[in-house]
Structure 1
């Protein structure tokens, strides 16, 4: 009996490509399935959430998760990463230094607790967090088999100093944007944001995906190029960025 994406909690976006919206912080996690390989985009907010994601992904693929891409180093996107032990982990260059330092992990842990994650869960996840092995400084192509190639692109800084986007070619093309794009509320600019470069990062997203792509925000519903362009213009106005 074949189990569908939807039955396992995934929203199918294109052949072999889906996403799910996690509870509490409405964070999006992506899934790209190749031949004997699978890429998860972001890891959830805790070890328990990461483990549930990995189980749901493997139930769908019938195989193990082989790759994990972290779009940026905020707690709701990275604290589940240790549940993906044994995978090849990718992040924008610089994320490795942040996640590999005691100070960086403590900042992530404290931010998670401020946002309501129980302190024991936040502490456990932060203490086991390891930096990505693969550091993307420009673009990196992953071959997931049977012609399924995924492009990882360092498009930041913007929402943070280390923003990674994931482009899945196809019909339609799908772009996982991380929190460079948010649909369920106004984009959040915390102390690690780089507002002067954020509109440029969205221009790079648009150049990657083009007019007909599906753009998957870090939070909220899937959007189109017109939405990304409007958010780019709103951010430029909000932060006084010209061009």
Structure 2
């Protein structure tokens, strides 16, 4: 009898049930139909996005609803089988001729030295969406966008800044409607300050519902935190989770409501107008 130990080792080694299953990597070509394994949402690939927390793919279902999903390992199903979607690698991509705002894109842009004039917005979400859509235009013009951390700070900031000829301030305000608190805080500020705004409670609501994959923005009763109420009613988790959905759903001015587009365009014209 040989010295070989027929009982040694792992008797299950190599068995099909113990082998680690290889998850295929599939290139997410446009119009490829895939299903999000977590939610069951099924749609065709229509685009991609990238943010600070990773890569995302846009899927559009048969009803025209577009949703954004993180491109994680084994996060999707094709014909019922788990796959990992990866972005296509484009060779010599064609450079877009239009910016996200619809303006003519300046090739080889180097940002101008910042002008003295400024655009102020109420919060970081407002600033992020303005940069998302008008960032190219602002760099061409050398305009800096700053957030006020609340409209209540406007009077003090204007006193410190000292608007004047060649040093204008454009202010973008949420919920700028007749009789609102916001209207009272933004009147009589002088010829070198222009205030524009939109009628929505929060800048989230200035994103078209279809862009974030919903039919309409829910109504949140007065006195309830608006962002928390929106996320609760849509099942979006925390306001931080909701903001990621909103931000990643915007790729151009077409994803925004016209009141916000017009308000920002007027501010850019005002602070860049030759004086």
TM-score when scaled to structure 1? Answer: 0.24
Larger helix share, 1 or 2: 1
**In terms of Rg, which structure is larger?**
2
